[in-house]
Amino acid sequence: MTNRTWQKLDSPAVIFSLGRCGREGWLLGANEGLWRYHDGACTIVSEALRAAAITAVAAPDRYPYQNLLLVGSVDGIARSIDGGQTWNSATLAQPSQVSQIVLSPGFEFDGIAFAATLEDGVLRTSDEGQRWSSWNFGLLDLETLALAVSPNFAADETVFVATASGVFRSTNGGRAWRELAFAGDGPEADDALPPTGVAVIDDTIVVSSESKGLFYSRDNGDTWFKRVAFRSGQTYTLSSSYDGTRLLLATPSTIAISPDSGATWERLGRAPDSVIAIAIDDDGSVLCGTQDDGLWVYR
């Protein structure tokens, strides 16, 4: 990534969420609605959503769902089947503040997606986002911050969710959850909470913590170990690349990329401030959505 630099783009001030949108670039969930980043520029997707704070975005890019968009907000989920021209509110049991939407790896076959909410736990749909239900049996903390679906979900039905008080795992597609011994039982365990992100790369689960760096597990979350890199300190957020081969981490001082589940990292220089969302494009460009300074791209 030599000769690349951080560039600030003309965009809304707050970028809550980033979601790949096939060949049309990336969707940006912003404080001024739903936007798109493509070919170095940001444009609004839908004037109908300009007044809404879009806190979560997701879009499948395989036939026949190229025009399906799902967005979350402070009071629910909306769905478009025509690329954002028109929208319908999804059916939820009650208004929910959505923090993330994650599609099943086999979405085009099973229509399954999950949504993390800040007060109502995990929501699940199996009809391509039209109707959502709470799936919280065993989930002791309903303040859910991040979700990660197993790459082998079709076979193992495994989902992980990071909450304000710990990490939970479901092995039956979200129907029931069990709390994991995240960060162990040592005196610093509580200081690692809350988690700031969770990702699954190959056979490794990686969790970033608010003040104690990175933890990882290679036995499906039963036991956890500290990563030597970023062993301590604050982390903003953690995510995996679209193809599931790389991790991205945002801290107050840098953005970093790992090709080996967090064992080693390439640091991309001084990071933008207050990063909320991070993603990496196929060409190696890195996108950062921030709390009050818009979208930054490392290219």
- Is 26 inside a domain boundary? yes
pTM of the prediction? 0.93
- Is 260 inside a domain boundary? no
pLDDT at 190 over 60: no
Q: Which residue has the higher pLDDT, 293 or 39?
A: 293
pLDDT at 224 over 50: yes
Alpha carbon distance 270, 252 (integer Å): 9
- Is 21 inside a domain boundary? yes
pLDDT at 63 over 70: no
Do 112 and 124 meet the contact criterion of CB atoms below 8 Å apart?
A: yes
Q: Looking at this protein, which amino acid is placed at residue 231?
A: R
- Is 154 inside a domain boundary? no
Write down the pLDDT at residue 15. 97
Would strands 133-134 and 122-125 be described as parallel, antiparallel, or unpaired?
antiparallel
- Is 80 inside a domain boundary? yes
Mean pLDDT estimate for the chain: 90
pLDDT one-digit tens code per residue, 95-135: 999 999 999 999 999 999 999 999 999 999 999 999 999 98
Q: Which residue has the higher pLDDT, 282 or 112?
A: 112
**For 44-62, what is the mean pLDDT?**
92
Where does the pLDDT of residue 299 fall: very low under 50, low under 70, confident under 90, or very high at 90 and above?
A: confident
Do 217 and 225 meet the contact criterion of CB atoms below 8 Å apart?
A: yes
CA distances from 288 to 17, 18, 251, 280 (A): 9, 8, 12, 9
Write down the pLDDT at residue 229. 85
Q: How many domains does one find in the chain?
A: 1
* SS3 track for the chain: CCCCCEEECCCCCCEEEEEECHHHCEEEEECCEEEEEECCEEEECCHHHCCCCEEEEECCCCCCCCCCEEEEECCEEEEECCCCCCCEECECCCCCCEEEEEECCCHHHHCCEEEEECCCCEEEECCCCCECEECCECCCCCCEEEEEECCCHHHHCCEEEEECCEEEEECCCCCECEECCCCCCCCCCHHHCCEEEEEEECCEEEEEECCECEEEECCCCCCCEECCCCCCECCCEEEECCCCCCEEEECCCEEEEECCCCCCCEEEEECCCCEEEEEECCCCCEEEEECCCCEEEEC
pLDDT one-digit tens code per residue, 241-277: 988 899 999 999 899 999 999 999 999 988 788 999 9
pLDDT at 187 over 50: no
- Is 113 inside a domain boundary? no
**For 153-170, what is the mean pLDDT?**
94
Write down the pLDDT at residue 64. 67
Share of the chain above pLDDT 70, in %: 95
Range of the domain at 63: 1-89
pLDDT at 13 over 80: yes
**For 136-144, what is the mean pLDDT?**
94
* CA 147 to mean position of chain CA atoms: 7
**For 187-215, what is the mean pLDDT?**
82
- Is 200 inside a domain boundary? no
- Is 183 inside a domain boundary? no
Write down the pLDDT at residue 2. 63
Alpha carbon distance 295, 98 (integer Å): 21
